[in-house]
């Protein structure tokens, strides 16, 4: 009879296993520390943006070059492997220089033609003001004289000098990153002497590199599709500087969500100034928006698949965040930087919940990466 109470006690229901672990002081403190670390990290990124933006651009150029070199070595067996990296460096740099030269050349022609279209632009603004029952705006020449462009000459010169300086330092960083890539494997071995930890670190690095390369590849291919279709339409209609607009649309495609919309909205507005009739602007707007819609909603999701695993709302918020702290560079790199942050945050217990919020399917660590370090809800509960 004495054994009965023990049996009853052993069958009594156990308390919820996570009632103290997840809501206790330790969990709250850990989450508070993570939030403070994120805020402090954001402040540091903003304060050091002058250096970090150059380094980030160099890193992503290095990723492009490394991916191109590996593609040359793997997909062209007869191509000498020793020449894959130098060839990739030369081709990427020549491509960037070519894009800059084309935009500069076309931009000068666009500016000259825009001056010639000043009377049409004034008439268009006057008709728009009359339709809205507003006072007619003053002539554009008067507005320019009131703005006093001379006082902005110094700021423009400083901006041009800043762009040249940033480009120089980006190339310097890129050269050192490429030169240091040979010692990366030895550093990994020194940092992770145990094979299991080293394999996990390599898997995490490969997933980050794969996600960035996939994003850049998809954005480049879809951007070329949108720019190519837009160019054919603008050239067929007779829009001036169609090549200039096509390059701008291609570059804007790297800015998620907003870039593509703004890129295809500008040519129809310019068509209103160039042509005396409206059908050209209507045709350009309809075709460009259709191309943007088909590529952005049909082709791009199929090419991208689940490689990024980023929530669409997070993509928009990350664009706002990185643009705020890093300007135009942050807007171009917002999505790959967020992918990197999500994968890294998923490896630590205290920050795993942030990675879950950033992900699209609630599994930021993936099915094969960092399982032992990803403390998902099921792993927190005792057996």
* For residues 138-155, average pLDDT: 58
271-295 burial, b at 16+ Cβ within 10 Å, e below that, comes to bbbbbeeeebbebbbebbeebbeeb
Tens digits of per-residue pLDDT, 94-132? 887 887 777 777 777 777 766 667 777 767 777 777 777
Contact 347, 373 (CB under 8 A): yes
- CB proximity list for 310: less than 8 A, separation 6 or greater: 318, 335, 338, 339, 342, 358, 359, 360
Distance from C-alpha of 311 to C-alpha of 363, rounded to nearest angstrom: 11
What are the distances in angstroms from CA 181 to CA 43, 62, 82?
29, 10, 15
Tens digits of per-residue pLDDT, 335-358? 888 888 888 888 777 778 888 888
- CB proximity list for 271: less than 8 A, separation 6 or greater: 237, 239, 280, 281, 284
Query: What confidence tier does 17 reach under pLDDT thresholds 50, 70, 90?
Result: very low
What are the distances in angstroms from CA 165 to CA 49, 172, 193?
14, 11, 40
pLDDT at 376 over 70: no
Count of beta carbons in the 10 Å neighbourhood of residue 349: 14
Tens digits of per-residue pLDDT, 248-273? 888 888 887 777 777 788 888 888 88
> Which two structure tokens, joined as six digits, stand for 249?
């649309």
Residue 12 half-sphere exposure toward CB, CA atoms < 13 A = 8
* pLDDT value of residue 154: 59
> Which two structure tokens, joined as six digits, stand for 52?
């970090």
What are the distances in angstroms from CA 34 to CA 22, 40, 215, 238, 292?
15, 10, 28, 56, 39
Distance from C-alpha of 282 to C-alpha of 229, rounded to nearest angstrom: 16
Instruction: Report the residue count for the chain.
Output: 383
Contact 222, 299 (CB under 8 A): yes
pTM passes above 0.95: no
């Amino acid at each position: 009879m004495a054994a009965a109470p023990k049996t009853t006690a052993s069958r009594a229901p156990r308390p919820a296993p996570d009632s103290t672990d997840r809501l206790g002081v330790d969990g709250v403190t850990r989450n508070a520390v993570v939030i403070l670390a994120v805020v402090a990290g954001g402040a540091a990124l903003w304060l050091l943006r002058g250096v970090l933006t150059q380094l980030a651009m160099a890193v992503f150029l290095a990723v492009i070059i490394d991916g191109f070199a590996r593609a040359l070595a793997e997909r062209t067996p007869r191509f000498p492997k020793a020449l894959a990296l130098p060839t990739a460096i030369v081709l990427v740099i020549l491509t960037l220089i070519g894009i800059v030269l084309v935009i500069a050349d076309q931009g000068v022609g666009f500016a000259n033609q825009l001056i010639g279209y000043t009377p049409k632009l004034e008439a268009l603004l006057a008709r728009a003001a009359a339709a809205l029952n507003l006072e007619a705006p003053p002539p554009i020449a008067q507005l320019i004289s009131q703005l006093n462009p001379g006082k902005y000459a110094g700021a423009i010169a400083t901006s041009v000098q800043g762009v040249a300086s940033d480009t120089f330092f980006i190339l310097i960083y890129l050269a050192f990153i490429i030169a240091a890539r040979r010692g990366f494997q030895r550093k990994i071995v020194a940092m992770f002497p145990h094979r299991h930890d080293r394999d996990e670190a390599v898997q995490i690095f490969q997933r980050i590199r794969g996600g960035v390369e996939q994003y850049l590849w998809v954005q480049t291919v879809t951007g070329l599709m949108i720019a190519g279709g837009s160019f054919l339409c603008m050239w067929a209609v007779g829009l001036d500087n169609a090549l200039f607009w096509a390059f701008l649309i291609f570059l804007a495609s790297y800015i998620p969500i907003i870039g593509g919309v703004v890129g295809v909205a500008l040519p129809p507005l310019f068509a209103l100034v160039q042509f005396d009739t409206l059908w050209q602007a209507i045709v350009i707007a309809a075709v460009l928006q259709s191309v943007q819609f088909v590529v952005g909603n049909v082709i791009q999701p199929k090419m991208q698949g689940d490689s990024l695993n980023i929530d669409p709302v997070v993509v928009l918020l990350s664009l706002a965040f990185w643009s705020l702290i890093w300007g135009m560079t942050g807007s171009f790199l917002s999505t790959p930087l967020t992918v990197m942050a999500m994968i890294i945050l998923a490896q630590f217990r205290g920050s795993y919940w942030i990675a879950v919020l950033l992900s699209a399917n609630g599994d930021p660590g993936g099915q094969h990466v960092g399982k032992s370090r990803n403390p998902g809800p099921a792993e927190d509960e005792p057996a």
